[in-house]
Structure 1
């Protein structure tokens, strides 16, 4: 691609021959060759500008920086205000602006992103309207699953994926949009037709520092929408109401409040299904789903709002929803049942997610004992750890504290932070996660529920710089079926 097209709508300083042809783009200095464009930006751990001398030796067609210090280092170099934002723009240009040719639904919020995206995808698929998914569980296109390593990939990879979706003939995509990706401009050149806000509660404060900064990160998705796009917002949430009031796009609200466009009126739950009564755009509807928990009803409302935004009929949406079994991997997933013992895994790793899961299980299994196994990730927000312990103690007969991707942080420090949240000694500290799960299962009586929380379908543990295979689901099955 010639530079006049690659750099279209990009503000930059520096003289460059726009007829130069570039064959590939990279922000990884190791992948650069003489036909490449290299974009240097400052990451969390390393700064790409530090590798410019190595890149120059490979004589690339163009180097893009956002630091004046390097402007005289090479003949073919330009400066932009923000390299990450520039990467997003030129990546979109390089791949032909694919998001402008497909329907893109972006879902953001602390909890519910994965479930909302997958519910939306499965409803569309069942109606013969193929929908791709991109998020925590990877990239799903035509039932083929690929790992991406991030909830929302870097903009270069994101635009490549969007082009794959477009080229496959798939007209719809549901994408999880993380707060990190918004701050780092990964989606700034993605054309979103629908933006969904699920909720906001404490998480990632190791990165954002304050709830205000965390909210402003999420709000970027909605503040950048054009007038033809639609915001679908949970207005039961304090931050959601703020977003709804300031939104300049078209808007759909959902929640329990009387003025919501999609209003939850009544739910009746069991361990295996939920009956729902809603008012949707002024009309009353009743339907049933196999998903359990009020939080999942909110995810369903978010999905309904997204589909209405894309002109799907309400009756068709609900008909599809009622006819299929929705299984969300690692989200309140029933791994197995033995006699009257239930074994669930869930990705829950925030105080709000803990409260939602425990309170809903208590509603549908009020006479059963609840046990849980959980840990807290290392090198992440430490301030939520004690709160999670406090909530677990409130609802559970027994709590087993263990490891959950401690990374480079001292495991004993993580445990200390967690234990500060307990008011009693009704917990067990077992560092080995497999042993913790095994001990919890061995201690279960009839009519009990075990929740193994934090990892969902993750199949690894990260300890220091090493990654080891570990699956909560496989571990539970091995122990239960061997006993």
Structure 2
């Protein structure tokens, strides 16, 4: 969720929006007992960590995973707080249960604050880079430099997993130590890629891609079939597959585990097929653009998006979010954690680049906006409710109230 955890020197956050910390203590003396795979990037971190953890569970059934979705040890979820103390509690509990591996999500803000002084990663995985959190970092350069800390501090003998399709990977490669092994993935024609996805097929059952790889990789299946829907998840799965291999999981077992894993919560989550309704966490321009591209592929009729933007956060992202929403046939602008800002003013900024769009409505009450989207939807249409995904609260000037997009959809459709 987007609410900040308690402040203080022991705090850490799973979203960059939480309160910064001032320092991290040295890691516990047993830190090297847990081989940790750290994942950073703008989009796809939680999905990638989830798939890495699924693969690591093939060799370590007490694998610890930490994402915006929570803390897990093996298949079990634990309610540890989103603080550094809670993180160590999760790692310690996993260690007590025999864990020797972990997969963790690392935001740019936590890396900038020095999280790696308090924990060490042996494998670093990069998903992608696009506009986000410039209110925190001040510039795109500082945003990338913050994420680069993960790769700058990889130890000799460690591994870096890079996305060949993202230009930022070339810059990261320059600062990675010479004794760190590089693994590269992509969907393009980069000759340096170790693993490439081709011939993608996306439908309501998931996503399938044909795999090509070089001689460094063996025992991989000829294709990868995911239950997650969308080409972005193929990229995340490739990153997860290489991250798991770098951590010691046999290739065939890693691929099988990733294929068997359920789709990430709130990530192109199909809440209803009749009418078709999807809830998605897309809250950056690039993520919304890619989500709507997937939706358009599946939708022969009218594509509707319900979306907003967070308050007290990166105002410069709002117009690009509006432009990304323009891919839909119908746009309903609403509130998304307005915090202390006027939600009408936020919606107006989203609407500014949409003057030429034929169907833009503003409905600030999020539940009412979802209801409006559903009211006019037929079997060939598709509604995407974007921005909050798995989150279960709405934050405004009056505080925090329970609100789950998926739960609202189910209630309105009589599916609850």
TM-score when normalising by structure 2: 0.89
Take 1:229 and 1:159, find their aligned partners in 2: how far apart are those partners?
A: 22
1:250 maps to 2:184: no
Asked if the contact 2:62–2:97 (Cα under 8 Å) also holds between the matched residues in 1, the reply is no
Check the 8 A contact 1:369/1:397 in 2, yes or no.
yes
Partner residue of 1:326 out of 262, 274, 283:
262
Distance 1:372 1:292, change over 3 A: same
Number of the residue aligned with 1:457: 390
Query: Does the C-alpha gap of structure 1 residues 275 and 45 become closer, same or farther in structure 2, counting only changes over 3 Å?
Result: closer
CA distance in 2, matches of 1:432, 1:27: 30
Return the alpha-carbon distance in structure 1 between the equivalents of residues 302 and 59 of structure 2: 40
Alignment partner of 1:122 is 2:58: no
Change (3 A) 1:163 1:128: closer
Asked if the contact 1:330/1:456 (under 8 Å) is kept, the reply is yes
Quote the residue 2:301 is aligned against: 368
After superposition, the Cα gap between the structure-2 partners of 1:149 and 1:386, relative to the gap in structure 1 and judged at 3 Å, is: farther
Structure 1: tracts of 5 or more residues without a match: 1-25, 29-37, 48-82
Q: What is the SS of the residue equivalent to 2:115?
A: coil
SS for the counterpart of 1:321 is helix
Bigger RCO of structures 1 and 2 (CA < 8 A, at least 6 apart): 2
Q: Residue in 2 aligned with 1:56?
A: none
**Distance verdict in 2 for CA 1:137–1:384, change over 3 Å:** same
CA distance in 2: counterparts of 1:376 and 1:287, whole angstroms: 34
**1:122-161 matched pairs, under 5 angstroms:** 122-126=54-58, 129-147=61-79, 150=82, 153-154=83-84, 156-161=85-90
Provide runs of 4+ in structure 1 moved above 4 Å: 44-47, 147-150
| Unmatched tracts of structure 2, length 5 or more | 1-5, 12-16
Counting only pairs closer than 5 Å after superposition, residues 48-447 of structure 1 correspond to structure 2 as 84-85=22-23, 87-89=24-26, 92=27, 96-126=28-58, 129-147=61-79, 150=82, 153-154=83-84, 156-248=85-177, 249-256=180-187, 257-282=190-215, 285-322=222-259, 324-338=260-274, 341-363=275-297, 365-393=298-326, 395-422=327-354, 423-447=356-380
The more displaced of 456-465 and 418-427 is 418-427
Describe the superposition over 1:349-405 as per-residue Cα deviations: whole angstroms up to 9, x where unpaired: 000001111112223x25232111111000111111111111211x21111100010
Contact 1:369 1:449 in 2 (8 A): yes
Q: 1:258 to 1:400 in 2, by over 3 A?
A: same
When normalised by structure 1's length, the TM-score is: 0.77
Provide the rounded CA distance (Å) in 2 between the counterparts of 1:355 and 1:458: 20
For 2:324 and 2:334, locate their aligned partners in 1 and report how far apart those are by CA, in whole Å: 16
- The CA RMSD over aligned residues, in Å, is 2.5
